[in-house]
Amino acid sequence: MPVRLNVSSRRELLGRGMAAVGMAVAAPQVIAAAVLGKGGAVAPSNRICMGFVGLGSQGGGHLFGGAWTYLPGGYLGRNDVQVLGVCDVQRKRAEQGKARVEQHYAKKLGQGAYAGCGAYSDIRDMLLRDDIDAVLIAAAYHAAATNVILTVRAGKDVYCEKPTSVTIRAGRAIVEAVRAHGRIYQAGTQQRSEYDGRFRRAVELIRGGRIGQLKRVYAYQTGGGLTPPPSTARRGAAPPEVNWDAYVNCLPWFNYDGNTGAHRFGYGGINWGQHCYDIVQWGVGADDTGPVEIHLENGNPVFRYANGVEVFGCPPPGAVWDEGGGACFIGTEGKIAVGRSKLSSDPPEIVKETPGMGHTGVYYSTSHAGNFLECVRTRQRTISDEETAHRAASMLLLGGIAMRLGRTLKWDPDKEEFPDAPDANRLLSMAAREPWRY
Protein backbone atom coordinates (compact mmCIF):
# COMPACT_ATOMS: atom_id res chain seq x y z
CA MET A 1 0.00 0.00 0.00
CA PRO A 2 1.46 3.34 -0.98
CA VAL A 3 2.42 5.51 1.92
CA ARG A 4 2.20 9.28 1.61
CA LEU A 5 5.07 11.22 2.95
CA ASN A 6 4.48 13.19 6.07
CA VAL A 7 5.14 16.81 5.22
CA SER A 8 6.61 17.45 8.63
CA SER A 9 9.31 14.89 7.95
CA ARG A 10 10.25 16.80 4.84
CA ARG A 11 10.45 19.97 6.87
CA GLU A 12 12.44 18.22 9.54
CA LEU A 13 14.95 17.08 6.94
CA LEU A 14 15.10 20.49 5.37
CA GLY A 15 15.46 22.12 8.75
CA ARG A 16 18.30 19.82 9.75
CA GLY A 17 19.94 20.19 6.39
CA MET A 18 19.79 23.94 6.54
CA ALA A 19 20.96 23.99 10.13
CA ALA A 20 23.89 21.81 9.20
CA VAL A 21 24.75 24.02 6.27
CA GLY A 22 24.50 27.04 8.52
CA MET A 23 26.78 25.51 11.08
CA ALA A 24 29.28 24.56 8.43
CA VAL A 25 29.37 28.14 7.22
CA ALA A 26 29.26 29.84 10.58
CA ALA A 27 31.47 27.54 12.57
CA PRO A 28 34.49 26.13 10.75
CA GLN A 29 36.36 23.51 12.73
CA VAL A 30 38.63 25.10 15.26
CA ILE A 31 40.65 22.74 17.38
CA ALA A 32 42.09 24.12 20.57
CA ALA A 33 45.85 23.75 20.86
CA ALA A 34 45.40 21.73 24.01
CA VAL A 35 43.75 18.90 22.19
CA LEU A 36 46.47 18.68 19.58
CA GLY A 37 49.08 15.99 19.87
CA LYS A 38 52.53 16.51 21.31
CA GLY A 39 55.15 18.56 19.52
CA GLY A 40 52.74 20.27 17.17
CA ALA A 41 51.42 17.01 15.78
CA VAL A 42 47.85 16.92 14.63
CA ALA A 43 45.51 14.91 16.81
CA PRO A 44 44.52 11.60 15.21
CA SER A 45 40.90 12.67 15.17
CA ASN A 46 41.80 15.63 13.00
CA ARG A 47 44.04 13.83 10.53
CA ILE A 48 42.72 13.06 7.10
CA CYS A 49 43.22 9.41 6.25
CA MET A 50 44.16 9.00 2.61
CA GLY A 51 44.66 6.43 -0.07
CA PHE A 52 46.76 6.92 -3.22
CA VAL A 53 46.02 5.41 -6.62
CA GLY A 54 48.83 5.35 -9.15
CA LEU A 55 52.38 5.50 -7.82
CA GLY A 56 54.24 6.52 -10.96
CA SER A 57 56.10 9.80 -11.28
CA GLN A 58 53.00 11.95 -10.71
CA GLY A 59 51.33 9.90 -7.99
CA GLY A 60 54.65 9.04 -6.37
CA GLY A 61 55.55 12.72 -6.36
CA HIS A 62 52.32 13.62 -4.60
CA LEU A 63 52.81 10.91 -2.02
CA PHE A 64 56.53 11.08 -1.33
CA GLY A 65 57.53 14.50 -2.67
CA GLY A 66 60.00 15.12 -5.45
CA ALA A 67 61.50 17.59 -7.83
CA TRP A 68 58.28 18.79 -9.44
CA THR A 69 56.03 18.65 -6.42
CA TYR A 70 54.67 21.50 -4.40
CA LEU A 71 54.98 19.86 -0.99
CA PRO A 72 58.38 19.00 0.45
CA GLY A 73 58.03 15.40 1.54
CA GLY A 74 54.70 15.06 -0.22
CA TYR A 75 51.45 14.19 1.51
CA LEU A 76 53.35 11.61 3.53
CA GLY A 77 55.33 14.39 5.14
CA ARG A 78 52.24 16.24 6.35
CA ASN A 79 51.22 15.96 9.96
CA ASP A 80 47.55 16.35 9.09
CA VAL A 81 47.49 13.35 6.76
CA GLN A 82 47.72 9.66 7.55
CA VAL A 83 48.39 7.41 4.56
CA LEU A 84 46.42 4.18 4.93
CA GLY A 85 46.51 2.68 1.47
CA VAL A 86 48.49 2.70 -1.76
CA CYS A 87 47.27 1.21 -5.02
CA ASP A 88 48.98 0.54 -8.31
CA VAL A 89 48.26 -1.94 -11.09
CA GLN A 90 51.93 -2.91 -10.76
CA ARG A 91 51.73 -4.97 -7.61
CA LYS A 92 55.43 -4.66 -6.87
CA ARG A 93 55.21 -0.88 -7.01
CA ALA A 94 52.28 -0.95 -4.61
CA GLU A 95 54.22 -3.16 -2.19
CA GLN A 96 57.25 -0.90 -2.41
CA GLY A 97 55.05 2.12 -1.78
CA LYS A 98 53.52 0.48 1.26
CA ALA A 99 56.99 -0.39 2.61
CA ARG A 100 58.16 3.19 2.14
CA VAL A 101 55.09 4.60 3.87
CA GLU A 102 55.48 2.24 6.79
CA GLN A 103 59.19 2.97 7.12
CA HIS A 104 58.37 6.66 7.24
CA TYR A 105 55.82 6.26 10.03
CA ALA A 106 58.04 3.86 11.96
CA LYS A 107 60.84 6.43 11.90
CA LYS A 108 58.49 9.27 12.75
CA LEU A 109 57.08 7.40 15.72
CA GLY A 110 60.48 6.18 16.82
CA GLN A 111 59.40 2.59 16.45
CA GLY A 112 61.25 -0.32 14.96
CA ALA A 113 58.34 -1.21 12.75
CA TYR A 114 54.96 0.13 11.73
CA ALA A 115 52.10 -1.68 10.03
CA GLY A 116 49.12 0.38 9.00
CA CYS A 117 49.25 0.86 5.25
CA GLY A 118 47.62 -1.52 2.79
CA ALA A 119 48.91 -2.31 -0.71
CA TYR A 120 46.38 -2.87 -3.49
CA SER A 121 46.38 -3.47 -7.22
CA ASP A 122 42.64 -2.84 -7.61
CA ILE A 123 41.12 0.45 -6.44
CA ARG A 124 37.89 -1.33 -5.55
CA ASP A 125 39.68 -3.31 -2.85
CA MET A 126 41.16 -0.18 -1.32
CA LEU A 127 37.79 1.57 -1.37
CA LEU A 128 36.29 -1.14 0.84
CA ARG A 129 38.18 0.41 3.76
CA ASP A 130 35.89 2.51 5.91
CA ASP A 131 38.82 4.33 7.50
CA ILE A 132 39.93 6.13 4.34
CA ASP A 133 38.49 9.65 4.03
CA ALA A 134 40.02 10.83 0.78
CA VAL A 135 41.78 9.38 -2.24
CA LEU A 136 44.34 10.94 -4.57
CA ILE A 137 44.15 9.53 -8.09
CA ALA A 138 47.13 9.81 -10.40
CA ALA A 139 46.63 6.67 -12.46
CA ALA A 140 46.24 6.26 -16.22
CA TYR A 141 44.02 9.03 -17.54
CA HIS A 142 41.77 6.70 -19.48
CA ALA A 143 40.64 5.32 -16.10
CA ALA A 144 40.17 8.67 -14.36
CA ALA A 145 36.37 8.87 -14.57
CA THR A 146 35.88 5.28 -13.45
CA ASN A 147 38.28 5.70 -10.55
CA VAL A 148 36.71 8.98 -9.42
CA ILE A 149 33.14 7.72 -9.58
CA LEU A 150 33.98 4.48 -7.76
CA THR A 151 35.67 6.61 -5.12
CA VAL A 152 32.83 9.04 -4.49
CA ARG A 153 30.29 6.22 -4.47
CA ALA A 154 32.39 4.65 -1.73
CA GLY A 155 31.99 7.85 0.28
CA LYS A 156 35.48 9.23 -0.14
CA ASP A 157 36.55 12.71 -1.18
CA VAL A 158 38.80 12.78 -4.20
CA TYR A 159 41.69 14.59 -5.81
CA CYS A 160 42.25 13.62 -9.44
CA GLU A 161 45.12 14.41 -11.76
CA LYS A 162 44.46 15.82 -15.21
CA PRO A 163 43.12 15.07 -17.72
CA THR A 164 40.18 14.51 -15.44
CA SER A 165 38.09 12.75 -18.08
CA VAL A 166 38.54 11.62 -21.66
CA THR A 167 34.94 12.09 -22.78
CA ILE A 168 32.55 14.93 -22.06
CA ARG A 169 29.79 12.61 -20.86
CA ALA A 170 32.21 10.99 -18.40
CA GLY A 171 33.11 14.44 -17.09
CA ARG A 172 29.45 15.26 -16.55
CA ALA A 173 28.99 11.89 -14.82
CA ILE A 174 31.77 12.85 -12.41
CA VAL A 175 30.04 16.15 -11.61
CA GLU A 176 26.74 14.42 -10.96
CA ALA A 177 28.29 11.68 -8.84
CA VAL A 178 30.29 14.11 -6.71
CA ARG A 179 27.21 16.22 -6.09
CA ALA A 180 24.82 13.33 -5.53
CA HIS A 181 27.12 11.88 -2.90
CA GLY A 182 28.06 15.18 -1.32
CA ARG A 183 31.79 14.65 -1.81
CA ILE A 184 34.66 17.09 -2.11
CA TYR A 185 36.52 17.05 -5.43
CA GLN A 186 39.65 18.76 -6.57
CA ALA A 187 41.34 18.45 -9.95
CA GLY A 188 45.11 18.43 -10.22
CA THR A 189 45.16 21.77 -12.02
CA GLN A 190 47.67 23.18 -9.59
CA GLN A 191 48.34 26.35 -11.52
CA ARG A 192 45.37 27.94 -9.79
CA SER A 193 47.19 27.74 -6.46
CA GLU A 194 50.91 27.35 -7.10
CA TYR A 195 53.68 29.17 -9.02
CA ASP A 196 53.78 32.15 -6.70
CA GLY A 197 50.23 33.09 -7.58
CA ARG A 198 51.15 34.22 -11.12
CA PHE A 199 48.09 32.66 -12.71
CA ARG A 200 45.73 34.03 -10.07
CA ARG A 201 47.26 37.47 -10.41
CA ALA A 202 46.82 37.36 -14.17
CA VAL A 203 43.18 36.40 -13.74
CA GLU A 204 42.61 39.15 -11.18
CA LEU A 205 44.06 41.73 -13.57
CA ILE A 206 42.04 40.47 -16.52
CA ARG A 207 38.80 40.30 -14.60
CA GLY A 208 39.59 43.65 -13.05
CA GLY A 209 39.50 45.19 -16.52
CA ARG A 210 43.20 46.09 -16.71
CA ILE A 211 43.45 45.02 -20.35
CA GLY A 212 40.09 46.50 -21.25
CA GLN A 213 37.52 44.29 -22.88
CA LEU A 214 38.85 40.79 -23.42
CA LYS A 215 38.87 39.85 -27.11
CA ARG A 216 41.21 36.93 -27.75
CA VAL A 217 43.07 34.27 -25.80
CA TYR A 218 45.87 32.00 -26.96
CA ALA A 219 45.88 28.68 -25.10
CA TYR A 220 49.22 27.30 -26.33
CA GLN A 221 47.72 23.81 -26.56
CA THR A 222 45.60 22.32 -29.30
CA GLY A 223 42.56 20.09 -28.69
CA GLY A 224 42.89 16.43 -27.85
CA GLY A 225 41.17 13.18 -27.16
CA LEU A 226 41.49 9.48 -26.54
CA THR A 227 42.26 6.88 -29.18
CA PRO A 228 41.99 3.46 -27.56
CA PRO A 229 44.48 0.93 -28.93
CA PRO A 230 43.34 -1.74 -31.38
CA SER A 231 41.20 -4.42 -29.80
CA THR A 232 42.45 -7.99 -29.60
CA ALA A 233 40.97 -11.35 -28.78
CA ARG A 234 41.84 -12.42 -25.27
CA ARG A 235 45.03 -14.41 -25.60
CA GLY A 236 47.69 -15.29 -23.08
CA ALA A 237 47.85 -13.83 -19.63
CA ALA A 238 49.49 -10.86 -18.06
CA PRO A 239 52.30 -11.61 -15.62
CA PRO A 240 51.01 -12.00 -12.07
CA GLU A 241 52.77 -8.85 -10.92
CA VAL A 242 50.46 -6.73 -13.11
CA ASN A 243 46.72 -6.29 -12.68
CA TRP A 244 46.11 -5.89 -16.39
CA ASP A 245 42.32 -5.91 -16.21
CA ALA A 246 42.44 -2.92 -13.86
CA TYR A 247 44.88 -1.18 -16.22
CA VAL A 248 42.76 -1.72 -19.35
CA ASN A 249 39.87 -0.61 -17.19
CA CYS A 250 36.91 0.78 -19.18
CA LEU A 251 38.70 0.62 -22.55
CA PRO A 252 37.99 -2.02 -25.21
CA TRP A 253 40.05 -5.08 -24.38
CA PHE A 254 43.62 -5.43 -25.62
CA ASN A 255 46.14 -8.00 -24.51
CA TYR A 256 49.03 -7.33 -22.18
CA ASP A 257 51.74 -5.33 -23.93
CA GLY A 258 54.09 -4.65 -21.05
CA ASN A 259 53.22 -0.96 -20.72
CA THR A 260 51.18 0.40 -17.83
CA GLY A 261 51.91 4.03 -18.64
CA ALA A 262 49.53 6.75 -17.51
CA HIS A 263 49.64 8.83 -20.70
CA ARG A 264 48.97 6.49 -23.59
CA PHE A 265 46.35 6.39 -26.34
CA GLY A 266 45.80 10.08 -26.83
CA TYR A 267 46.08 12.61 -29.62
CA GLY A 268 46.65 16.34 -29.63
CA GLY A 269 47.05 18.04 -26.28
CA ILE A 270 45.26 15.37 -24.24
CA ASN A 271 47.92 15.10 -21.55
CA TRP A 272 48.87 18.72 -20.96
CA GLY A 273 46.03 20.69 -22.50
CA GLN A 274 43.72 20.81 -19.51
CA HIS A 275 46.24 22.98 -17.64
CA CYS A 276 46.09 25.63 -20.36
CA TYR A 277 42.34 25.54 -20.92
CA ASP A 278 41.81 25.66 -17.16
CA ILE A 279 43.59 29.01 -17.01
CA VAL A 280 41.75 30.21 -20.11
CA GLN A 281 38.38 29.37 -18.57
CA TRP A 282 39.39 31.02 -15.31
CA GLY A 283 40.47 34.22 -17.03
CA VAL A 284 37.42 34.36 -19.26
CA GLY A 285 35.17 33.75 -16.23
CA ALA A 286 33.64 30.67 -17.81
CA ASP A 287 34.20 28.04 -15.12
CA ASP A 288 30.61 26.87 -15.36
CA THR A 289 30.07 27.11 -19.09
CA GLY A 290 31.83 26.75 -22.40
CA PRO A 291 32.09 27.98 -25.97
CA VAL A 292 29.25 28.09 -28.46
CA GLU A 293 31.29 27.29 -31.55
CA ILE A 294 34.53 25.58 -32.48
CA HIS A 295 36.15 26.04 -35.87
CA LEU A 296 39.59 25.16 -37.19
CA GLU A 297 42.44 27.39 -38.30
CA ASN A 298 45.57 25.69 -39.62
CA GLY A 299 44.31 22.47 -38.09
CA ASN A 300 44.01 23.94 -34.59
CA PRO A 301 40.71 24.63 -32.84
CA VAL A 302 39.40 28.14 -32.31
CA PHE A 303 36.67 28.43 -29.70
CA ARG A 304 34.14 31.25 -29.58
CA TYR A 305 32.17 32.07 -26.46
CA ALA A 306 28.70 33.62 -26.52
CA ASN A 307 30.21 37.01 -25.62
CA GLY A 308 32.40 36.91 -28.70
CA VAL A 309 35.72 36.14 -26.99
CA GLU A 310 37.79 33.77 -29.10
CA VAL A 311 40.28 31.22 -27.80
CA PHE A 312 42.95 29.93 -30.15
CA GLY A 313 44.33 26.46 -29.52
CA CYS A 314 47.87 27.47 -30.36
CA PRO A 315 50.55 29.90 -29.17
CA PRO A 316 50.28 33.58 -30.07
CA PRO A 317 51.95 34.54 -33.35
CA GLY A 318 55.71 34.46 -32.94
CA ALA A 319 55.65 32.51 -29.66
CA VAL A 320 56.71 28.90 -29.14
CA TRP A 321 54.48 26.02 -28.14
CA ASP A 322 56.02 25.16 -24.80
CA GLU A 323 55.13 27.88 -22.33
CA GLY A 324 54.42 25.70 -19.32
CA GLY A 325 50.66 25.59 -19.18
CA GLY A 326 50.27 29.22 -19.95
CA ALA A 327 47.87 31.47 -21.80
CA CYS A 328 47.99 34.88 -23.44
CA PHE A 329 44.99 37.19 -22.98
CA ILE A 330 44.48 40.09 -25.37
CA GLY A 331 42.09 42.92 -24.62
CA THR A 332 41.20 46.27 -26.12
CA GLU A 333 43.75 48.05 -23.91
CA GLY A 334 46.60 45.60 -23.53
CA LYS A 335 47.63 42.00 -23.13
CA ILE A 336 48.75 39.68 -20.37
CA ALA A 337 50.82 36.55 -20.93
CA VAL A 338 51.22 34.09 -18.08
CA GLY A 339 53.21 30.88 -17.71
CA ARG A 340 54.63 28.93 -14.82
CA SER A 341 57.77 31.02 -14.66
CA LYS A 342 56.66 34.37 -16.03
CA LEU A 343 53.89 36.95 -15.90
CA SER A 344 54.21 39.78 -18.41
CA SER A 345 52.03 42.44 -19.92
CA ASP A 346 51.83 45.02 -22.63
CA PRO A 347 52.00 47.78 -21.50
CA PRO A 348 54.43 46.51 -18.82
CA GLU A 349 52.86 48.67 -16.10
CA ILE A 350 49.80 46.44 -15.89
CA VAL A 351 51.52 43.61 -14.05
CA LYS A 352 53.30 46.02 -11.72
CA GLU A 353 49.99 46.76 -10.06
CA THR A 354 49.12 44.68 -7.06
CA PRO A 355 45.48 43.80 -7.20
CA GLY A 356 43.87 43.55 -3.81
CA MET A 357 43.31 40.03 -2.63
CA GLY A 358 39.71 39.02 -3.17
CA HIS A 359 38.69 42.33 -4.70
CA THR A 360 37.83 40.71 -8.00
CA GLY A 361 36.12 37.71 -6.46
CA VAL A 362 38.83 35.34 -7.66
CA TYR A 363 39.22 32.26 -5.45
CA TYR A 364 42.38 32.61 -3.38
CA SER A 365 44.59 29.64 -2.63
CA THR A 366 48.34 29.45 -2.19
CA SER A 367 48.62 25.69 -1.82
CA HIS A 368 46.70 23.27 -3.98
CA ALA A 369 47.11 20.33 -1.62
CA GLY A 370 46.41 22.58 1.35
CA ASN A 371 43.24 23.85 -0.29
CA PHE A 372 42.06 20.30 -0.92
CA LEU A 373 42.68 19.19 2.65
CA GLU A 374 41.11 22.33 4.06
CA CYS A 375 37.99 21.76 1.98
CA VAL A 376 37.83 18.14 3.07
CA ARG A 377 37.68 19.45 6.65
CA THR A 378 35.27 22.33 6.05
CA ARG A 379 33.18 20.75 3.23
CA GLN A 380 33.63 23.87 1.12
CA ARG A 381 34.15 23.99 -2.62
CA THR A 382 37.78 23.61 -3.75
CA ILE A 383 39.54 26.00 -6.11
CA SER A 384 39.39 23.36 -8.88
CA ASP A 385 36.04 21.75 -8.18
CA GLU A 386 34.20 19.18 -10.27
CA GLU A 387 32.37 21.60 -12.55
CA THR A 388 35.45 23.75 -13.12
CA ALA A 389 37.53 20.70 -13.99
CA HIS A 390 34.84 19.28 -16.25
CA ARG A 391 34.47 22.50 -18.21
CA ALA A 392 38.24 22.87 -18.69
CA ALA A 393 38.52 19.25 -19.83
CA SER A 394 35.54 19.84 -22.12
CA MET A 395 37.38 22.64 -23.94
CA LEU A 396 40.24 20.29 -24.66
CA LEU A 397 37.92 17.48 -25.76
CA LEU A 398 35.69 19.75 -27.85
CA GLY A 399 38.77 20.90 -29.70
CA GLY A 400 39.73 17.27 -30.20
CA ILE A 401 36.32 16.40 -31.66
CA ALA A 402 36.46 19.33 -34.07
CA MET A 403 39.97 18.28 -35.13
CA ARG A 404 38.86 14.71 -35.59
CA LEU A 405 35.87 15.63 -37.73
CA GLY A 406 37.72 18.44 -39.47
CA ARG A 407 34.95 21.00 -39.52
CA THR A 408 33.17 23.78 -37.67
CA LEU A 409 30.84 22.67 -34.87
CA LYS A 410 28.16 24.54 -32.92
CA TRP A 411 28.08 23.68 -29.20
CA ASP A 412 25.33 24.15 -26.65
CA PRO A 413 27.16 24.60 -23.33
CA ASP A 414 23.95 24.22 -21.30
CA LYS A 415 22.73 20.99 -22.85
CA GLU A 416 26.31 19.90 -23.55
CA GLU A 417 25.60 18.67 -27.04
CA PHE A 418 26.21 19.64 -30.63
CA PRO A 419 22.79 20.95 -31.76
CA ASP A 420 23.24 20.17 -35.44
CA ALA A 421 25.93 17.49 -35.59
CA PRO A 422 24.69 14.02 -34.62
CA ASP A 423 27.98 12.44 -35.68
CA ALA A 424 29.89 14.71 -33.31
CA ASN A 425 27.48 13.83 -30.52
CA ARG A 426 28.55 10.20 -30.94
CA LEU A 427 32.01 11.25 -29.82
CA LEU A 428 30.79 12.70 -26.53
CA SER A 429 30.84 9.31 -24.85
CA MET A 430 32.52 5.93 -24.99
CA ALA A 431 30.81 2.75 -23.80
CA ALA A 432 32.66 1.40 -20.78
CA ARG A 433 33.87 -2.18 -20.59
CA GLU A 434 32.31 -4.01 -17.69
CA PRO A 435 32.74 -4.07 -14.79
CA TRP A 436 34.58 -0.72 -15.06
CA ARG A 437 31.50 1.34 -15.67
CA TYR A 438 31.03 4.92 -14.47
Helix (H) or strand (E) holding 401, with range, is helix 386-405
Of 129 and 181, CB closest to other proteins = 181
- Mapped onto helix, strand or coil, the DSSP state of residue 303 is strand
Residue ranges in contact with other proteins by CB under 8 A:
1-5, 7, 9-11, 13-14, 16-18, 20-21, 153-155, 169, 176-177, 179-182, 227-234, 252-253, 404-407, 422-423, 425-435, 437
Residue 114: burial class (beta carbons within 10 Å; 0-12, 13-18, 19+): middle
**Minimum distance of other proteins from residue 190's CB (angstroms):** 27
Of 11 and 342, CB closest to other proteins = 11
Cα(245)–Cα(259) distance, integer angstroms: 13
Long-range pairs, 348-351, Cβ under 8 A, ≥24: 350/205, 350/210, 350/211, 351/201, 351/202, 351/205
**Minimum distance of other proteins from residue 200's CB (angstroms):** 28
Cα(58)–Cα(189) distance, integer angstroms: 13
Cα(113)–Cα(171) distance, integer angstroms: 42
Of 234 and 352, CB closest to other proteins = 234
Of 20 and 41, CB closest to other proteins = 20
User: Side chain identity at 279, as an amino acid letter?
Assistant: I
Of 2 and 261, CB closest to other proteins = 2
Backbone angles phi, psi at 436, to 5 degrees: -90, 50
**Minimum distance of other proteins from residue 254's CB (angstroms):** 8
**Minimum distance of other proteins from residue 282's CB (angstroms):** 25
In whole angstroms, how far apart are CA 329 and each of 96, 193, 203?
45, 19, 9
Angle at 245 (CA atoms; ends 244, 248), nearest 5 degrees: 85
**Minimum distance of other proteins from residue 12's CB (angstroms):** 9
**Minimum distance of other proteins from residue 248's CB (angstroms):** 11
Of 240 and 435, CB closest to other proteins = 435
Cα(335)–Cα(342) distance, integer angstroms: 14
**Minimum distance of other proteins from residue 346's CB (angstroms):** 41
Partners of 331 in the β-ladder: 214, 334
**Minimum distance of other proteins from residue 264's CB (angstroms):** 12
Of 280 and 376, CB closest to other proteins = 376
Of 178 and 205, CB closest to other proteins = 178
- Mapped onto helix, strand or coil, the DSSP state of residue 92 is helix
